[in-house]
Chains A and B, each alone.
Chain A
Amino acid sequence: MIEVTLKINGKMYTRKINPMLRLIDFIRDEIKLKGTKEGCGEGECGACTVIMNGKTVNSCLVLAASANGAEITTIEGLSNGDHLHPIQEAFIEVGAVQCGYCIPGMILSTKALLDENLDATEAQIKEGISGNLCRCTGYTKIVEGVKIAQKKIINSQEGD
């Protein structure tokens, strides 16, 4: 067993864990944040995407031990109390969510993309979410959702 400390959604968590424990298991089973989903477990589908030190990773392909000291954002870290994040609002408004299983990962990929490039073009949006599979929506609504989110974020920045 080894001791690790991770900052998840702004809060520090220290646990003694088996060094083989994956980051997704740490988040779901140790911290009990169930928003992060496991899909394929092989880094193909992106359902388990979280943001680690500003970059998206498949949490099924990272050991929690390797993430020791890292800052992690999961889907639970996006909303501010009762106020949803603009990306979440946009996805709901446009109907980008059907079964919803891929959405936490999809939204975190969108967040990482827009944090880096708020003016991303449609091609860049598609590239940005290319590691996240959705079997329901056909992606059109999701891409629309990202575009609406861009406008919402830009407007809120102008309003500041």
Chain B
Amino acid sequence: MKLLSFFQPNNIDEAKVLLSKYENSKLLAGGTDLLLDFKKDMNVPQYLIDLSKILELKSIVENESDITIGSMVTFTQVKGNKLIKDNFNSIILCAKSMGSPQIRNVATIGGNIINGAVAADIVPCVISLDGILVFESIDTLREVRCEDYFRNNSIEKIKGNEILTKIIIPKRPWLSGYYKLGKRNSLAIARANTALSLSIEENIIKDLRVCLGAVGKFPFRVNELESRAVGKIVEWLFDDEALNILENTVYESIKERKTMPFKRNAIKGVFKNALLSAVESGGNK
């Protein structure tokens, strides 16, 4: 297909109008994935709508009960943001380990969620923090839990006339952590990653969210581990009983894949590192 027109709307409303007007259009966020496709003559739309000039999509805002991240916020912005630092340790660790400085300077949170799929860096963080994705079109507004977006992806998937405008993450006094295993330190996409958040009182686990990435079609939560952990001491999460749940989960998820024998073992170390990063962050949530 050949690109006929390029648009650079100045606000969300303009972008929505363009999307509804031009059927065969595509949204351009940071472009670090899409431009690679273009180079191979893949995914070239007739109309390209570049979101990079829309300031409304580039802010991180604190509300009473949540922090809202605009979809065009870059990984560099996230990495240096005090609100994120004070509330979501896992997101900071994820942003630091994502790509190179050059990639982080343009790659966006929204683009990573919509395009990244299997190995998206930020998705396990957003899922483990109970984040909500907000999609807008010219006449609709839809909020979907990030977890549901990927679990029911065939139904919830972004529609042709929609824009992911923001990600809402509830504030709560939980600890959170993240760890990624990549092939090469700075630029690798994740071979396996884990994000988690947990609530602890006097060393007893009150609540836990664990999300694994790159070990299935989409990142997913490990419900069995989460429910079994409640009421136990934090150290239990480092025991074989807990780690075996993870190993079995990964085995079941990718048993047909060649990488399974490696990943089902690797996930235990990845999980332990993510957990350590959460516990060590202490008051840093």
Which A residues are within 8 Å of any B CB, using their own CB? 2, 19-20, 22, 41-44, 46, 49, 55-58, 60-63, 65-66, 68, 109, 112-113, 127-128, 130-132
Decide if A130 touches B186 in the complex (CB within 8 Å).
yes
| Interface range on chain B (Cβ under 8 Å from partner) | 20 to 34
User: Is residue B24 within 8 Å, beta carbon to beta carbon, of the partner chain?
Assistant: no
CB-based contact A66/B101 at 8 Å: no
Docked complex Cα distance between A22 and B36 (Å): 11
Q: What are some 7 contacts across the A-B interface (CB < 8 A)?
A: A2-B6, A19-B3, A42-B36, A56-B105, A61-B36, A131-B99, A131-B103
Closest 9 CB pairs of A and B: A131-B100, A19-B6, A130-B186, A55-B105, A131-B102, A58-B102, A56-B102, A61-B35, A65-B6
- The docked-state distance in angstroms from the alpha carbon of A87 to that of B255 is 52
If over half of B's interface residues share one DSSP class (helix, strand or loop), that class is named, otherwise mixed; here it is mixed
Selected from A22, A44, A57, A66, the residue in CB contact (under 8 A) with B50 is: A66
Contacting residues, chain A, for B27 (C-beta < 8 A): none
- Contact partner of A128 among B3, B44, B101, CB < 8 A? B101
A66 to B32, CA, bound (A): 12
Specify the chain B residue showing the minimal Cβ separation from A20.
B3
* Interface 0/1 of B1-37, CB less than 8 Å to A: 0010110100000000000000000001001100110
B28 touches A43 (CB 8 A): no
Q: Is B106 touching A44 in the complex (CB atoms < 8 A)?
A: no
A22–B106 Cα gap in the complex (Å)?
A: 14
Chain A CB within 8 A of B52 CB: yes
Q: Is the CB of B103 within 8 A of A58?
A: yes
B interface list, Cβ under 8 A from A: 3, 5-6, 8, 28, 31-32, 35-36, 38-39, 44, 48, 50, 52, 76, 99-103, 105-106, 185-187
Determine if B101 and A19 form an interchain contact, defined as CB atoms under 8 angstroms apart.
Answer: no
Contact of B52 among A20, A42, A66 (CB under 8 A): A66
Residues of B within 8 A of A46 (CB): 100, 102
Say whether A62 contacts B186, CB under 8 Å: no
Most chain B Cβ neighbours within 10 Å, of A57, A68, A112: A57
CB distance from B259 to the nearest CB of A (A): 22
By the criterion CB–CB under 8 Å, are B8 and A68 in contact?
A: yes
- Select B102's contact among A49, A65, A127, beta carbons within 8 Å: A49
Q: Are A57 and B3 in contact (CB under 8 A)?
A: no
A55-B48 Cα distance, complex, nearest whole Å: 24
B200: shortest Cβ distance to chain A, in Å?
Answer: 31
Residue of A nearest to B28 (CB): A66
Cβ–Cβ contact B8 & A65, under 8 A = yes
Chain B residue numbers with a CB within 8 Å of A41 are: 39
A2-B6, A63-B28, A131-B187 known; A22 vs B102 contact (CB < 8 Å): no
Given A66-B52, A130-B101, A131-B102: A43 and B6 within 8 A (CB)?
A: no
Tell me whether B106 and A61 are in contact (CB under 8 A): yes
Q: Which residue of A lies closest to B36 (CB)?
A: A42
Q: For residue A19, which residues in chain B have a CB less than 8 angstroms away from its CB?
A: 3, 5-6, 48
